[in-house]
Amino acid sequence: MSGFYDFVPNLRDSIDRNDDGIPRSRNIPKSFKMWRSTSMSNLVSNSNKIRSHVYESAPSDNSKYASAESLTTLSSYKSKKSHWLLKDLENFWDSWDTIVTIILVAAKDLPRPPNDGTTHELYGKFRLGSETFRSKSVIHTRRPEWRERFKLHLHKDHSLKLTLWDRGRQKIFMGSCVLDLSKLEKERTHDIWQELDDGYGSVHLSVTMCVVRYLHTAPKTIKTDFQHEQVYWNNDWRLVGCLKVKVIRAKGLSGKPSAYCTLELDNEQLQTHSASSGPDPVWDKSYVFNVYDVTSALSLKVYSSSLTNAFLTELLGQVSIPLLNITNGETRWYALKNRNNRNVAKGNCPRILLTMTVTWNPIKATLRLFQPKEVKYIEEAPKWDISLLMRNLPIFVDHFNNILYFNEIFKRLFEWNNREMSAIALFFWLMLCYHLTPSMIPLTLLLVFIFLRIYTWIQGNNYFIDSGAEIKSENNSNNNQKENKGLAYRINDMPEIILTVSNVLELIVSFLERLKNLFTFQVPFLSYVVMSILALLSLVLYFVPFNYLLMLFGIYKFMRKYLNPDRILNNDFIDFISRIPDDRILKDWKELNVPEPFLKKFREKIHKL
């Protein structure tokens, strides 16, 4: 607690007392009830307000003695006042040990707002103990979405109260609910559809409780054991498997921070406690995540819990680990990367020691690949980035030039520029068409996978990943040819146009890179799934006439609406392609070497010699 009071030393003088020195209220000031876990600004601003009080003595005939007496009384008054405030702050600061992270996702089946000709907005209010938060306002619809995160502190009161309000001409109460947090397991993320007490609609919440402080008791052991049978025979087909992560320790961090980790898998995010200050923190905690998509990646970030981090998030390092790359039960070091996920973070070879075990059902995981990918509740808003445009444009031009190159090869064959090659190509084309059957179409693609698998095994898995090239920007000065009348209009729309072009190029480049990575076995599991489907399709086409299959495919497409009325409109091919990482994601997943510091220095000395 001493470090806490060192940040705001004048808070000891903020309790108001009467003339007898007795405090008028032992309650926590209202300013602390609006405490935000992510910022110290409320506390500092209140201290500045408290520090501005000026005490003056009443006028007296004996001004000399009255001034001395008033100064003595004021000094005693401040001393007693500081003592009581210190005790109040200790009770407030030491009464919580858990951070409750709440994501207000959406709501449904809410009552319609009155039709009074005004725009109605909907917002929610949270209350947990003495803390109260209000969400942003969204347009009132039958299914509004907020996707907003809140962080509260868990005290003795475990009742989370939520109220929904409509704001139009008047403020209208739309419903409320109370969630008992004591019934929820800590260190897990709970996805909840909570019914409103009045029976009008329900609210979608994501609740996570993480123990980040141990007050006067030893840390409780979290149950992290799971049986393989629970994964394989679970009735929930959305649940593919489970991931167990043990965060042991870190080494070589920059400075001597009081560090903590955040672990995120899709929409589940957990946080460790703050370890003791030093470059080599030790956590030794285990966590369990539900796996809904085996192609996801675990994102681990290390932060500093200093006062500066309350205002500016200080990232010490991060690493992204694909679930399919995890070796069960292996304890190993992972190098920490910087903010852009490309180079080593600051420090002395910063790294983190993890033990991970992932268990998943292959049948569920395969079926899940052809369903819509889970959307994250909290996403960063798209922003204009000229570097993204400059990166994607050359890649798109390179792929387009490759298509033109193959097109030129076929043109040369058709034009008989090289008679020997054209004659051989014609012979093979005639033989292929004469013996062609529908079963050979997927078999041909299967042979392409087999050939590229052997080729990538010889060349290395990272052979096809674009390492990046220097991009030269060219400035085109064509403003003199444009009319002055439309110049301001074009300038105003330039960011939006560039953002649109950048997003389109990003989609095209990402799609091409995903196809390339599928054929080059960057994610072997996905490539093996496609190979299995192609082999099965070849077998079916061999025994079943192709015409009958087309008829069954047409009947399935036309009757799909009646077979599954509640289906989500999707494209199976696009859903599968979305699971394949592009080159940018592969670079984020690429592991860095973890050399020991003394070996690195020793090698540098030998190299100099």
Residues 187 and 134 in one domain: yes
Token pair for 581: 């990482």
- The residue type of 537 is L
583 CB burial (10 A radius; 0-12, 13-18, 19+):
buried
The three-state secondary structure class of 191 is strand
Mean pLDDT in residue range 293-314:
80
**Is pLDDT above 50 for 4?**
no
User: Do 354 and 235 sit in the same domain of this protein?
Assistant: yes
Cβ(98)–Cβ(273) under 8 Å?
no
Domain end point (choices 347, 368, 389): 368
pLDDT the model gives residue 102: 92
Q: Give the containing element (helix H, strand E) for 78.
A: helix 63-93
**Element (DSSP H or E) covering residue 150:** strand 145-154
Q: Cα(467)–Cα(461) distance, rounded to whole angstroms?
A: 13
Q: Helix (H, G, I), strand (E, B), or coil: what is residue 221?
A: coil
Determine which of 131-135, 402-406, 531-535, 598-602 has the lowest per-residue pLDDT on average.
598-602
Is the pLDDT confidence value at 251 over 60? yes
CA dihedral 481, 484, 486, 489 (to 10 degrees): 110
Please tell me the least confidently modeled range out of 81-90, 153-162, 337-346.
81-90
371: left (phi over 0), alpha (psi -120 to 50) or beta: beta
Task: Say what the pLDDT of residue 258 is.
Answer: 83
**Quick check: is 416 in a domain?**
no
**pLDDT, greater one: 372 or 88:** 372
Alpha-carbon span 532 to 446, nearest angstrom: 9
Residue 87 and residue 23 share a domain: yes
Q: Which CATH number is 161's domain given?
A: 2.60.40.150
Asked if pLDDT for residue 15 goes beyond 60, the answer is no
Q: What is the pLDDT of residue 265?
A: 93
Amino acid letter at 121?
A: E
State how far Cα 131 lies from the chain centre. Answer: 26
Alpha carbons 128 and 179: distance in angstroms, whole number: 10
Number of domains in the chain: 3
Question: CB of 400 within 8 A of CB of 281?
Answer: no
Say if 117 falls within a structural domain: yes
pTM summary value: 0.71
Low-confidence winner among 26-40, 270-284, 553-567, 572-586 (lowest mean pLDDT): 26-40
Whether pLDDT at 89 is above 60: no
Residue 61 falls inside a structural domain: yes
Residue 196 and residue 107 share a domain: yes
Residue 130 near residue 155 (C-beta atoms within 8 A)? yes
Is 253's pLDDT higher than 50? yes
CA distance 163 to 197: 10
Residue at token pair 């058709």: 414
Q: Three-state SS for 4? A: helix
* Domain end marker among 333, 368, 403: 368
Highest mean pLDDT among 89-98, 253-262, 518-527: 518-527
DSSP, residue by residue, 379-391: -PPP---HHHHHH
Q: Which residue has the higher pLDDT, 4 or 436?
A: 436
Dig out the tokens for 520 from the structure. 């080059």
* pLDDT value of residue 142: 82
pLDDT tens digits, residue range 48-81? 443 333 333 344 444 444 444 544 554 555 555 5
State which of 406-410, 423-427, 512-516 shows the largest mean pLDDT: 512-516
559 domain-assigned? no
Q: For the chain, what percentages of helix, strand and coil (3-state, to nearest 5) are there?
A: 40, 25, 35
Q: Look up the domain containing 61 and give its range.
A: 2-93
Q: What is the pLDDT of residues 416-437, one digit of tens each?
A: 888 888 888 888 888 877 777 7
**Residue 289 within a domain:** yes
Position 14 scores a pLDDT of: 40
| 19 and 133 in a common domain | no
Domain shared by 328 and 285, yes or no? yes
Does 42 share its domain with 148? no
Sign of CA dihedral 24, 25, 29, 30: negative
Report if residue 80 sits inside a domain: yes
Judge whether 352 and 249 are in contact, CB under 8 Å.
yes
pLDDT band at 319 (very low <50, low <70, confident <90, very high): very high
Task: Please check whether residue 30 lies inside any domain of the structure.
Answer: yes
DSSP letter string over 404-461? HHHHHHHHHHHTTSSHHHHHHHHHHHHHHHHH--TTHHHHHHHHHHHHHHHHHHHH-T
557 within domain boundaries = no
Residue 122 makes CB contacts below 8 A (sequence gap 6+) with 107, 110, 137, 138, 139, 140, 144, 164, 165, 166, 167, 174
* SS3 per residue for 294-358: CCCEEEEEEEECCHHHHHCCCEEEEEEEEHHHCCCCEEEEEECECCCCCCECCEEEEEEEEEEEE
Which tokens is 237 given?
């087909």
Contact 323, 298 (CB under 8 A): yes
CB atoms within 10 A of CB 408: 10
Q: How high does pLDDT run on average in the chain?
A: 76
Report pLDDT digits (tens) over 575-595. Answer: 899 899 998 888 888 888 776
Query: For residue 23, is pLDDT > 80?
Result: no
Assigned token pair, 371: 């369903």
Residue with tokens 């995890």: 326
Q: Could you tell me if 255 and 242 lie in one domain?
A: yes
User: Which span out of 14-18, 175-179, 217-221, 466-470 was modeled with the highest average pLDDT?
Assistant: 175-179
Closest CA to 582 of 465, 462, 457: 465
Q: Are residues 204 and 236 in the same domain?
A: no
247/197 same-domain check: no
Bridge partners for 16 per DSSP: none
Cα distances (angstroms) measured from residue 231 to each of 185, 288, 323, 482? 19, 13, 16, 64
Q: Do 250 and 353 fall into the same domain?
A: yes
| Last residue of one domain, picked from the residues 211, 245, 280 | 211
Residue-wise pLDDT for 110-161, tens only, equals 888 888 778 889 999 999 888 889 999 998 888 899 999 998 888 888 889 9
Q: What mean pLDDT comes out for the span 340-367?
A: 89
Per the document, the length of the chain is: 609
The reply to whether 234 and 200 lie within a common domain is: no
